[in-house]
Structure 1
Protein backbone atom coordinates (compact mmCIF):
# COMPACT_ATOMS: atom_id res chain seq x y z
CA UNK A 1 0.00 0.00 0.00
CA UNK A 2 2.85 2.42 0.81
CA UNK A 3 4.50 1.81 -2.58
CA UNK A 4 1.23 2.45 -4.43
CA UNK A 5 0.64 5.62 -2.43
CA UNK A 6 4.17 6.87 -3.12
CA UNK A 7 3.86 6.19 -6.85
CA UNK A 8 0.49 7.92 -7.08
CA UNK A 9 1.80 10.90 -5.09
CA UNK A 10 4.81 11.17 -7.42
CA UNK A 11 2.57 11.03 -10.48
CA UNK A 12 0.36 13.76 -9.02
CA UNK A 13 3.40 15.92 -8.28
CA UNK A 14 4.81 15.47 -11.79
CA UNK A 15 1.41 16.22 -13.31
CA UNK A 16 0.85 19.24 -11.08
CA UNK A 17 4.28 20.69 -11.86
CA UNK A 18 3.66 20.57 -15.60
CA UNK A 19 0.07 21.83 -15.24
CA UNK A 20 1.34 24.75 -13.17
CA UNK A 21 4.03 25.55 -15.73
CA UNK A 22 1.60 25.41 -18.62
CA UNK A 23 -1.04 27.45 -16.79
CA UNK A 24 1.48 30.29 -16.40
CA UNK A 25 2.14 30.09 -20.14
CA UNK A 26 -1.57 30.19 -21.03
CA UNK A 27 -2.22 33.07 -18.60
CA UNK A 28 0.42 35.26 -20.26
CA UNK A 29 1.72 33.80 -23.48
CA UNK A 30 3.33 37.14 -24.32
CA UNK A 31 5.48 37.07 -21.19
CA UNK A 32 6.52 33.49 -21.95
CA UNK A 33 7.42 34.52 -25.50
CA UNK A 34 9.41 37.44 -24.11
CA UNK A 35 11.36 35.13 -21.82
CA UNK A 36 12.10 32.81 -24.75
CA UNK A 37 13.16 35.75 -26.92
CA UNK A 38 15.44 37.05 -24.15
CA UNK A 39 17.22 33.69 -24.20
CA UNK A 40 17.92 34.24 -27.90
CA UNK A 41 15.52 31.78 -29.51
CA UNK A 42 13.78 32.61 -32.81
CA UNK A 43 9.98 32.47 -33.18
CA UNK A 44 9.36 32.96 -29.45
CA UNK A 45 5.56 33.08 -29.59
CA UNK A 46 5.41 29.89 -31.63
CA UNK A 47 7.83 28.17 -29.24
CA UNK A 48 5.80 29.35 -26.24
CA UNK A 49 2.67 27.71 -27.66
CA UNK A 50 4.58 24.52 -28.50
CA UNK A 51 5.96 24.40 -24.95
CA UNK A 52 2.51 24.94 -23.44
CA UNK A 53 0.87 22.13 -25.40
CA UNK A 54 3.86 19.84 -24.84
CA UNK A 55 3.54 20.41 -21.10
CA UNK A 56 -0.19 19.66 -21.25
CA UNK A 57 0.64 16.35 -22.90
CA UNK A 58 3.22 15.55 -20.23
CA UNK A 59 0.74 16.35 -17.47
CA UNK A 60 -1.92 14.11 -19.02
CA UNK A 61 0.57 11.27 -19.37
CA UNK A 62 1.72 11.56 -15.75
CA UNK A 63 -1.80 11.82 -14.36
CA UNK A 64 -3.26 8.96 -16.38
CA UNK A 65 -0.23 6.70 -16.72
CA UNK A 66 -0.72 6.50 -20.49
CA UNK A 67 2.61 6.70 -22.33
CA UNK A 68 4.12 7.28 -18.90
CA UNK A 69 7.65 6.02 -19.54
CA UNK A 70 7.84 7.91 -22.83
CA UNK A 71 6.62 11.07 -21.11
CA UNK A 72 9.14 10.67 -18.27
CA UNK A 73 11.99 10.31 -20.76
CA UNK A 74 10.86 13.26 -22.90
CA UNK A 75 10.29 15.37 -19.79
CA UNK A 76 13.82 14.58 -18.63
CA UNK A 77 15.30 15.77 -21.91
CA UNK A 78 13.07 18.86 -21.80
CA UNK A 79 14.02 19.72 -18.21
CA UNK A 80 17.74 19.52 -18.96
CA UNK A 81 17.28 21.60 -22.11
CA UNK A 82 15.49 24.21 -19.97
CA UNK A 83 18.30 24.12 -17.40
CA UNK A 84 20.97 24.94 -19.96
CA UNK A 85 18.88 27.29 -22.11
CA UNK A 86 17.48 29.46 -19.34
CA UNK A 87 19.69 28.90 -16.27
CA UNK A 88 23.03 27.78 -17.71
CA UNK A 89 26.58 28.81 -16.84
CA UNK A 90 26.38 32.02 -18.89
CA UNK A 91 23.77 33.32 -16.38
CA UNK A 92 25.55 32.45 -13.12
CA UNK A 93 27.86 35.45 -12.97
CA UNK A 94 25.04 37.96 -13.17
CA UNK A 95 22.78 36.19 -10.70
CA UNK A 96 24.03 33.53 -8.31
CA UNK A 97 20.47 32.22 -7.78
CA UNK A 98 20.54 30.99 -11.39
CA UNK A 99 23.05 28.31 -10.35
CA UNK A 100 20.51 27.03 -7.83
CA UNK A 101 17.79 26.98 -10.48
CA UNK A 102 20.16 25.12 -12.79
CA UNK A 103 20.96 22.45 -10.19
CA UNK A 104 17.27 22.03 -9.28
CA UNK A 105 16.60 20.82 -12.81
CA UNK A 106 18.95 17.88 -12.22
CA UNK A 107 17.08 16.78 -9.10
CA UNK A 108 13.89 16.88 -11.17
CA UNK A 109 15.70 14.83 -13.84
CA UNK A 110 16.62 12.22 -11.23
CA UNK A 111 12.96 11.72 -10.34
CA UNK A 112 11.98 11.56 -14.00
CA UNK A 113 14.63 8.94 -14.73
CA UNK A 114 13.40 6.89 -11.79
CA UNK A 115 9.85 7.21 -13.09
CA UNK A 116 10.99 6.18 -16.58
CA UNK A 117 12.72 3.09 -15.21
CA UNK A 118 9.88 1.96 -12.94
CA UNK A 119 6.73 2.99 -14.79
CA UNK A 120 3.40 4.36 -13.57
CA UNK A 121 2.57 1.64 -11.06
CA UNK A 122 -0.25 -0.86 -11.07
CA UNK A 123 -3.10 1.25 -9.72
CA UNK A 124 -5.02 3.99 -11.52
CA UNK A 125 -2.86 3.67 -14.59
CA UNK A 126 -3.81 3.45 -18.25
CA UNK A 127 -1.60 0.71 -19.69
CA UNK A 128 -0.67 2.35 -22.99
CA UNK A 129 2.75 3.08 -24.35
CA UNK A 130 5.32 2.43 -26.98
CA UNK A 131 7.97 1.33 -24.50
CA UNK A 132 7.65 -1.90 -22.53
CA UNK A 133 6.38 -1.15 -19.05
CA UNK A 134 8.28 -2.70 -16.11
CA UNK A 135 6.71 -5.82 -14.65
Structure 2
Protein backbone atom coordinates (compact mmCIF):
# COMPACT_ATOMS: atom_id res chain seq x y z
CA UNK A 1 0.00 0.00 0.00
CA UNK A 2 1.32 3.38 -0.96
CA UNK A 3 1.65 6.16 1.56
CA UNK A 4 -0.10 9.49 0.92
CA UNK A 5 2.36 12.00 -0.42
CA UNK A 6 2.63 15.13 1.62
CA UNK A 7 4.34 17.80 -0.45
CA UNK A 8 5.82 21.06 0.79
CA UNK A 9 2.89 23.07 -0.68
CA UNK A 10 0.32 20.93 1.13
CA UNK A 11 2.12 21.39 4.44
CA UNK A 12 2.29 25.16 3.95
CA UNK A 13 -1.42 25.44 3.12
CA UNK A 14 -2.29 23.39 6.19
CA UNK A 15 -0.12 25.65 8.38
CA UNK A 16 -1.82 28.78 6.99
CA UNK A 17 -5.26 27.28 7.56
CA UNK A 18 -4.47 26.39 11.18
CA UNK A 19 -2.93 29.83 11.82
CA UNK A 20 -6.04 31.54 10.43
CA UNK A 21 -8.29 29.39 12.62
CA UNK A 22 -6.26 30.27 15.72
CA UNK A 23 -6.39 34.01 14.94
CA UNK A 24 -10.15 33.83 14.51
CA UNK A 25 -10.53 32.05 17.85
CA UNK A 26 -8.34 34.71 19.58
CA UNK A 27 -10.47 37.54 18.16
CA UNK A 28 -13.62 35.78 19.35
CA UNK A 29 -12.20 35.45 22.87
CA UNK A 30 -11.22 39.14 22.91
CA UNK A 31 -14.75 40.17 21.96
CA UNK A 32 -16.22 37.98 24.72
CA UNK A 33 -13.75 39.31 27.29
CA UNK A 34 -14.37 42.98 26.49
CA UNK A 35 -18.14 42.59 26.88
CA UNK A 36 -18.73 45.34 24.30
CA UNK A 37 -21.77 43.83 22.65
CA UNK A 38 -23.42 47.18 21.77
CA UNK A 39 -20.75 48.08 19.24
CA UNK A 40 -21.67 45.00 17.23
CA UNK A 41 -25.23 46.23 16.56
CA UNK A 42 -26.12 48.48 13.66
CA UNK A 43 -29.49 50.22 13.41
CA UNK A 44 -31.39 51.77 10.52
CA UNK A 45 -32.73 55.27 11.17
CA UNK A 46 -35.92 56.82 9.74
CA UNK A 47 -34.02 57.96 6.62
CA UNK A 48 -32.69 54.49 5.86
CA UNK A 49 -29.11 55.22 6.98
CA UNK A 50 -27.04 52.83 9.11
CA UNK A 51 -26.29 54.26 12.57
CA UNK A 52 -24.89 52.89 15.84
CA UNK A 53 -27.59 54.43 18.08
CA UNK A 54 -31.03 52.85 18.52
CA UNK A 55 -33.87 54.57 16.60
CA UNK A 56 -36.19 57.06 18.29
CA UNK A 57 -39.55 55.31 18.93
CA UNK A 58 -41.47 58.59 18.49
CA UNK A 59 -40.41 58.76 14.82
CA UNK A 60 -41.66 55.26 14.08
CA UNK A 61 -44.12 55.06 11.16
CA UNK A 62 -46.75 52.34 11.02
CA UNK A 63 -47.19 50.79 7.56
CA UNK A 64 -50.35 48.93 6.63
CA UNK A 65 -49.23 45.65 5.03
CA UNK A 66 -52.49 45.41 3.05
CA UNK A 67 -51.70 48.65 1.19
CA UNK A 68 -48.47 47.26 -0.30
CA UNK A 69 -48.99 46.13 -3.90
CA UNK A 70 -46.84 43.26 -5.10
CA UNK A 71 -46.27 42.70 -8.79
CA UNK A 72 -46.62 44.79 -11.90
CA UNK A 73 -49.72 46.97 -12.34
CA UNK A 74 -52.05 46.07 -15.19
CA UNK A 75 -51.35 47.87 -18.44
CA UNK A 76 -54.11 50.28 -19.32
CA UNK A 77 -55.43 50.04 -22.84
CA UNK A 78 -54.99 53.25 -24.80
CA UNK A 79 -57.70 54.69 -27.04
CA UNK A 80 -55.38 55.36 -29.96
CA UNK A 81 -55.05 52.59 -32.51
CA UNK A 82 -51.53 52.11 -33.82
CA UNK A 83 -51.38 51.48 -37.55
CA UNK A 84 -49.43 48.25 -38.06
CA UNK A 85 -48.46 49.26 -41.61
CA UNK A 86 -45.21 51.25 -41.71
CA UNK A 87 -43.46 53.07 -44.49
CA UNK A 88 -39.77 53.00 -45.25
CA UNK A 89 -37.00 52.96 -47.82
CA UNK A 90 -34.97 49.92 -48.87
CA UNK A 91 -31.42 50.70 -47.69
CA UNK A 92 -29.80 47.51 -48.96
CA UNK A 93 -31.07 44.48 -50.84
CA UNK A 94 -29.02 41.59 -52.24
CA UNK A 95 -30.97 39.77 -54.97
CA UNK A 96 -28.59 36.81 -55.10
CA UNK A 97 -28.83 36.09 -51.37
CA UNK A 98 -32.46 37.18 -51.00
CA UNK A 99 -32.27 39.54 -48.02
CA UNK A 100 -31.83 43.21 -47.20
CA UNK A 101 -32.67 46.02 -44.79
CA UNK A 102 -35.47 48.58 -44.72
CA UNK A 103 -35.12 51.90 -42.87
CA UNK A 104 -38.34 53.16 -41.29
CA UNK A 105 -39.04 56.78 -42.33
CA UNK A 106 -40.56 57.75 -38.94
CA UNK A 107 -38.26 56.09 -36.40
CA UNK A 108 -35.12 55.73 -38.57
CA UNK A 109 -34.78 52.12 -37.37
CA UNK A 110 -33.51 49.43 -39.72
CA UNK A 111 -35.36 46.16 -40.08
CA UNK A 112 -34.29 42.91 -41.71
CA UNK A 113 -36.29 41.78 -44.73
CA UNK A 114 -36.14 38.42 -46.50
CA UNK A 115 -37.34 37.73 -50.03
CA UNK A 116 -40.00 35.38 -48.60
CA UNK A 117 -41.55 38.33 -46.72
CA UNK A 118 -41.96 40.41 -49.90
CA UNK A 119 -45.22 40.56 -51.83
CA UNK A 120 -43.54 42.31 -54.77
CA UNK A 121 -39.99 42.43 -56.09
CA UNK A 122 -38.04 45.24 -54.42
CA UNK A 123 -34.74 46.98 -55.13
CA UNK A 124 -32.51 49.42 -53.27
CA UNK A 125 -33.94 52.94 -52.67
CA UNK A 126 -37.55 51.79 -53.30
CA UNK A 127 -40.19 53.30 -51.01
CA UNK A 128 -42.15 50.43 -49.44
CA UNK A 129 -44.93 49.60 -47.02
CA UNK A 130 -44.34 46.80 -44.51
CA UNK A 131 -45.45 45.25 -41.26
CA UNK A 132 -43.26 44.02 -38.42
CA UNK A 133 -43.02 40.53 -37.02
CA UNK A 134 -40.72 39.20 -34.30
CA UNK A 135 -37.99 37.01 -35.74
CA UNK A 136 -35.25 34.95 -34.14
CA UNK A 137 -32.82 37.90 -33.90
CA UNK A 138 -35.21 40.84 -33.67
CA UNK A 139 -37.98 42.47 -35.64
CA UNK A 140 -38.37 41.50 -39.31
CA UNK A 141 -40.23 43.34 -42.06
CA UNK A 142 -42.96 41.17 -43.63
CA UNK A 143 -45.71 41.72 -46.22
CA UNK A 144 -43.47 44.23 -48.01
CA UNK A 145 -44.82 45.99 -51.11
CA UNK A 146 -43.86 49.07 -53.10
CA UNK A 147 -45.63 52.38 -52.53
The bucket for the TM-score relative to the shorter chain is under 0.3
Larger radius of gyration: 2
**Greater percentage in helix:** 1
**Greater percentage in strand:** 2
State TM-score, norm by structure 2: 0.22
